[in-house]
Amino acid sequence: MIVMSNQAGISDEDFQKFREFFYRKTGMLFEQSKRYFVDKRVLERMIATDNPTFRSYFAMLRFQASGAELQTLINLMTVNETYFFREEYQFRCLVDSMLAEIVARRTSTEPIRIWSVPSSSGEEPYGIAIYLLEHWPPLKQWDVEIISSDIDTQILHRAKQGLYSERAVQHVPEPLLKKYFRHVGTQYQIRQTLREAVEFTQVNVTESADMRSHRHFDVIFCRNLLIYFDDLSRKTTAESFYDALNPGGFICLGHSEAMSRISPLFQIRRFPNAIVYQKPLEAR
């Protein structure tokens, strides 16, 4: 590693070129201050792919027909960890801003529908449920349905079980931990009433038939999924989300994902806690 990095440095010009390319592809812009972080990962991949120079690695990244190396690099650049209340500011935005707007224009008492996809092992949908119970008093007057989906049946099974390590619940305040979890050995399990409040389904978001059975949502959380897709699947999925949402419905993406690289169908809404995307109210 030390020997390699002596031979194969990344020059300032290389960094600029890489940075522009990566920005265009993903919307992630690395500042000069991130130089070390970026170089380290790129050098790592150069070694793994047997590219002795940045030039040959960059050519591979750019011209590889499958785009697999770009995907690998994206995975490396986006540290993806699931734990309870990850990117909590969006939950805050849900209870403080989005739901208020949704409720204000409701003409019926139909349930409010929230879709969390991918479910992963359940931290997000249960986290939303806890947030609503704790921080959204109008829950007394409204029914809220939470559906959570994943393509992976094994992970869906784990999500339904709702068993978590100490690490996964580290951001859950003590009183909430007591209230919504029970100790099982060294682990924490979501209490049964809460487990029964979330519906889990298997969905491939790029499959039109799967998407047809998931509609009429008011809010969709789809965080840190699209970043792992190619351009076309990303666009296909965003367009299906458009038809899965009620007019005026919202979609929340992960912090390193930008709808400006995906689809022009949604409007940008800036709330005090977060920027989210909205299907236009007048949408047909």
Partner 1 sequence: MKRILVIDDAATVRLYHREILENAGFDVSEAINGLEALEKIEEATFDLYLVDINMPKLDGYGFLRALRQRPIPQAPAIMISTESSANDRQAALVAGANLYILKPIKPEQLLPHVRGLLGEWQQP
Partner 2 sequence: MALKKGKPTPSSDVPGERQQARDRDGLLQALQADDAMTRRWAARDLAAHSEAAAALVGQLRRECENSVRQVILTSLTQIGNDTAIQGLIDCLYLEDAMLRNAAIEVLKELPDQVAPFMGKLLQDPDPDVRIFAVDVLESLRHPHVEEWLIEVISQDPHVNVCATAVDLLGEVGSEQAKAALISLKQRFADEPYIQFASDLALKRIEAE
Per CB under 8 A, residues contacting partner 2 are 11-14, 16-17, 20-21, 53-55, 62-65, 111, 113, 129, 132-133, 139-147, 194, 196-199, 201, 208, 212-216, 231-232, 235-236, 239-240, 242-243, 263-265, 283-284
Instruction: Please give the Cα distance from 98 to 277 (Å, whole number).
Output: 11
Q: Which partner, partner 1, partner 2, none, binds residue 197 by CB below 5 to 8 Å per kind?
A: partner 2
- Partner interacting with residue 213 (select from partner 2, partner 1, none; CB below 5-8 Å by kind): partner 2
Interacting stretch for partner 1, rule CB under 8 A, among 82-90, 129-137, 201-209, 268-276? 268-276
User: Binding pattern to partner 1, positions 71-110, x when CB under 8 A?
Assistant: ----------------------------------------
Minimum Å gap between C-beta 164 and partner 1 is: 34
Q: If binding means CB under 8 A, how many residues of this protein chain bind partner 1?
A: 14
Give me the residue label for tokens 């992976």.
152
Alpha carbon distance 244, 172 (integer Å): 31
Two tokens, residue 198: 């979330």
Helices 12-26 and 54-63 meet at what angle, rounded to 10? Answer: 20
Nearer to partner 1, 23 or 135 (CB): 23
Q: Which does 270 bind (CB under 5 to 8 A by kind): partner 1, partner 2, none?
A: partner 1
Name the residue among 164, 142, 148, 127 with its Cα closest to residue 201.
Answer: 148
Closest approach, Cβ 3 to partner 2, in A, equals 21
Shortest distance in whole angstroms from residue 258 CB to partner 1? 7
Residues 202-261 that bind partner 1 (CB under 8 A): 258-261
Minimum distance from residue 82 beta carbon to partner 2 (Å): 21
Interacting partner of 260 out of partner 2, partner 1, none (Cβ under 5 to 8 A depending on kind): partner 1
Choose the stretch contacting partner 1; rule: CB under 8 A; options: 73-81, 129-137, 147-155, 264-272: 264-272
Query: How far is the C-alpha of 22 from the C-alpha of 27, rounded, in Å?
Result: 7
Q: Which does 239 bind (CB under 5 to 8 A by kind): partner 1, partner 2, none?
A: partner 2
DSSP string, the chain: -HHHHHHS---HHHHHHHHHHHHHHHS----GGGHHHHHHHHHHHHHHTT-SSHHHHHHHHHH-TT-HHHHHHHHHHS-----TTTTTHHHHHIIIIIHHHHHHT--S-PPEEEEESS-TTTHHHHHHHHHHHHH-GGGGT--EEEEEEES-HHHHHHHHHTEE-TTTTTTS-HHHHHHHEEEETTEEEE-HHHHTTEEEEE--TT-HHHHHTS--EEEEEE-SSGGGS-HHHHHHHHHHHHHHEEEEEEEEE-TT--GGGT-SSSEEEE-SS-EEEE--TT--
Residues in region 1-30 near partner 1 by CB under 8 A: 20, 23-24, 27
Which of the choices partner 2, partner 1, none does residue 2 contact, using the CB cut-off of 5 to 8 A by kind?
A: none
**Residue 23's binding partner, choosing from partner 1, partner 2, none, with beta-carbon cut-off 5 to 8 A by kind?**
partner 1
> For binding to partner 1 (CB under 8 A), which residues are involved?
20, 23-24, 27, 258-264, 268, 270, 275
